[in-house]
């Protein structure tokens, strides 16, 4: 095999599919009977997720913005990039990222790029995330957004990028968007952020996932 290494869209035949749980909030759970390459079948439970965006915001001193949020399933208050669900049908991911940066940090950014795309836990969920790099950051005009529930208590810190990287390797930071985003930003920084995709770059992996639900 030659050429650049790339994940490939694929699907095994699905003999039957049953919705076993509908939360009415973020996730649903589907149970698929999947035909395996040898002709046998296996049941695969899938957590159906709308997808999400995250924002690695860097200031002029190349500090990264992190917010601390309580995550009940993990029983931790995690330091994370601003992030949010893509739970509005048809919403543009960049528009969602701009909204989340405003709501969680009361900031706007003049420069946006795609930093990375990922499936967070492909063995159990179809959640696809896009992490943006936001630069030329400044305070947003107007009143701050009033968060609810966990978002009503979210401390905000600007952390030197190198310190955030060190925190990841020391095992102090665990949020997957933080780990992926911070490490990707640190690597991109080495080349002056050359080669990043435009903020409106296609996101075929998420489109493929959404197509399997129809």
Cross-sheet strand order for the sheet of 76-80: 76-80, 63-71, 156-160
The total of other beta-carbon atoms located within 10 Å of residue 4's CB is 4
Determine if residue 120 is left, alpha or beta; phi over 0 gives left, psi from -120 to 50 gives alpha, anything else beta: alpha
Active centre residues (catalytic):
151
- Pairing label, strands 128-139, 52-57: parallel
Q: How does DSSP classify residue 144? A: P
Distance CA 210, CA 214 (A): 7
The answer to whether the beta carbons of residues 136 and 57 sit under 8 Å apart is no
List C-alpha distances in Å: 193 to 17, 56, 171, 186: 43, 13, 26, 9
- Burial code (b: 16+ CB inside 10 Å, e: under 16) for 118-146 equals bbbeeeebbbbbbbbbbbebeebeeeeee
């Amino acid at each position: 095999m030659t050429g650049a290494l790339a994940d490939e869209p694929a699907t095994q035949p699905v003999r039957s599919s049953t919705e076993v749980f509908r939360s009415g909030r973020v996730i649903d759970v589907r149970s698929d009977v999947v035909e395996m390459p040898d002709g046998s079948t296996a049941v695969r439970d899938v957590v159906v997720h709308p997808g999400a965006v995250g924002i690695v915001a860097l200031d002029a001193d190349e500090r990264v913005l992190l917010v601390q949020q309580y995550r009940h399933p993990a029983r931790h208050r995690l330091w994370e990039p601003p992030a949010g669900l893509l739970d509005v049908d048809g919403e543009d991911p960049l528009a969602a990222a701009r909204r989340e940066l405003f709501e969680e940090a009361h900031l706007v950014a003049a420069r946006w790029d795609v930093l990375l795309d990922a499936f967070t836990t492909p063995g159990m969920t179809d959640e696809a995330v896009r992490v943006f790099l936001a630069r030329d950051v400044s305070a947003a005009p107007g009143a701050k957004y009033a968060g609810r529930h966990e978002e009503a208590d979210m401390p905000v810190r600007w952390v030197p990028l190198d310190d955030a990287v060190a925190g990841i390797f020391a095992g102090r930071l665990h949020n997957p968007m933080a780990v992926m985003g911070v490490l990707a930003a640190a690597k991109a920084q080495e080349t002056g952020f050359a080669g990043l995709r435009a903020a409106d770059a296609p996101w075929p992996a998420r489109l493929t996932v959404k197509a399997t639900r129809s």
